[in-house]
Structure 1
Amino acid sequence: MSEALADLPPLRESLAAHGLLAKKAFGQHFLLDLNITRKIARLAGVAAGDRVIEIGPGPGGLTRALLETGARVTAVEKDERFRPLLEELGVACPALDLVFGDALEVNEAAIAEGAPAHLVSNLPYNVGTALLIKWLTGPWTPASLTLMFQREVADRITAAPGDEAYGRLAVLVQATASAHRVMDVPARAFTPPPKVDSAVVRLAPREDRLAPERLRALEQATAAAFGQRRKMLRSSLKPLGGEALAVAAGLDPQARAETVDLAGFLRLADQLAGRGA
């Protein structure tokens, strides 16, 4: 760690000096405990020289921990209020690059400049799921993703068939990546504390990426099946072929979506994409 980085004032002092408070409209909850942010950086497996993209750094708590590893960090922040504070951090550590803009519209491939890049973020609550789907189904593939979500969302990402939280998000995520919950973070760790606890999920994109047409078919199948999740497949899949589609995919038409595993949904997708036997 550089001396300049070590000499920075505590995050609470920096926030107070700039008169900054979390903005509810942006789903902001600051993580100021460097013990927690350092643990997240360790769980991400980030090492010196690695390229990291962080979304929503806010006051820079996780950013500091990532920079301490010797990684090259690009922080993407939508809230211009944090520009002076983050620029101070950039002066202390030139390995930090700043991009001010909407993460949903950012071109990560351009940021990474063709090199492998890890995504490590305490995601804003209001866009976390949308960003995850963007990263797992879009044209650019991250080297890894270590992301903090509301615990309910983390449960939905890692759920198995039959679990109460199992649904469309679990299927889409697990079709494109391996996902493991690696750390729980209580609400009291944040400033201000949210109403729910959070959890960190570590994801590794699958090397055998789904072809675009197969992914589109999977999105179509899961949207129909879970759109009416309490109905049997013969009813929920009716717009796509109903009972005949379920049987062709080797599924019981009287089963419900919450009991169908990833392999079953991939067979449904293959039937829709015209790849079935």
Structure 2
Amino acid sequence: MIEPTIANRDVTLHILKTFGIHMSKKLGQNFLIDEQVVQAIVQAANIQTGDAVLEIGPGIGTLTQGLVRSGAQVTAVEIDRQLVTVLAKTLEGYENVRVVHGDILRVNISQEMGTDSYKVVANLPYYITTPIIMGLLEQRLPVELLVTMVQKEVARRMVALPGTKDYGALSVAVQYYTEPEIMFIVPPRSFVPAPAVESAVIRCTVRTQPPVTVQSEKLFFQIVKAAFSQRRKTLFNALKTTGRPPEEIKEALLAAGIDGARRGETLSLEEFAAITNYWSK
């Protein structure tokens, strides 16, 4: 039996009506109805038969279907209990998928996925994109690749370079852990209901080693957070929020060859690392 393609406006609306689903703004639910986008996401993740994939927020199974049809072994984590019931029906024809009811920020991912490497593929709710991505990266899970659909503005921040308006703490963190690249833009018409903004699919290849060596990652990210906490302030003044005395700040900046009058958004990862390692002595 050939299962109908979920990434279709009529099929999606039929599923929503059949199960009495009302889109939740709280959960950021917009349902993908473009099969070409689904296939492009699967291709961006370079899914091969047998690949282990963690999908976050499968919804009614639109992207899930594309993944399982490509031969992936999918573990899909869904927070909405009603949608878990829907998934049991929409994915009943596939054996290579397992649905887990839970909040991805609380689920024991290691327990669900094991210790072998896997890929993360997701159409993330806009309101919780950053906590999910950073939570996955900070845990140092055996993830080799993240391919996620996010708000276009967030994707631009993730790949932004120093000195640009989009460059910030998220840029530094994502680029510390991964090599990110925007794969393609997804227009609002690809969803029901259509969101007010464009989306982007971003691929983050997880690094085996960070691009810079730091003595303390905790201190590194404290410095990054301080530098971007008040973007209008000079770096010297922004770093005062770390609690370090002014003389220590001057010494670190001098040793790193960094002008304290610069703004935090002009610093490269290497320069943040230089300050970190000076203070780690």
Task: Give TM-score, length-normalised by structure 2.
Answer: 0.91
- The corresponding residue for 2:280 is 273
Contact 1:52 1:117 in 2 (8 A): yes
Contact 2:60 2:90 in 1 (8 A): no
Residue of structure 1 aligned with 2:256, choices 225, 249, 261: 249
The letter of the residue matching 1:245 is A
Change (3 A) 1:273 1:70: same
Q: CA deviation at 1:245?
A: 2.3
- The corresponding residue for 1:29 is 30
Give % identity: 34
Aligned structure 1 segments of 4 or more residues deviating by more than 4 angstroms: 6-9, 209-213
Q: What residue ranges of structure 2 are gaps of 5+ in the alignment?
A: none
- The corresponding residue for 2:61 is 60
Q: CA deviation at 1:139?
A: 3.4
* SS of equivalent to 1:271: helix
The letter of the residue matching 2:115 is G
- Count residues with an aligned counterpart: 272
- The corresponding residue for 2:271 is 264
Change (3 A) 1:211 1:77: farther
- The corresponding residue for 1:152 is 153
* SS of equivalent to 2:127: coil
- The corresponding residue for 2:144 is 143
Please list, as runs of the form range in 1=range in 2, the aligned pairs for 1:68-217 lying within 5 A after superposition.
Answer: 68-209=69-210, 214-217=216-219
Q: CA deviation at 1:7?
A: 7.7
Change (3 A) 1:78 1:213: farther
- Tell me how far apart the structure 1 counterparts of residues 155 and 5 of structure 2 sit (CA, whole Å): 35
* SS of equivalent to 1:143: strand
The letter of the residue matching 1:255 is R
Per-residue CA shift, 1:50-95, capped at 9, x if unaligned?
A: 0001101111111111111010011100011112220113421011
Q: CA deviation at 1:214?
A: 2.4
Q: CA deviation at 1:168?
A: 0.6
Contact 2:256 2:274 in 1 (8 A): yes
Q: CA deviation at 1:250?
A: 2.5
CA RMSD of aligned residues (A): 1.9
* SS of equivalent to 1:204: strand
Q: What residue ranges of structure 1 are gaps of 5+ in the alignment?
A: none
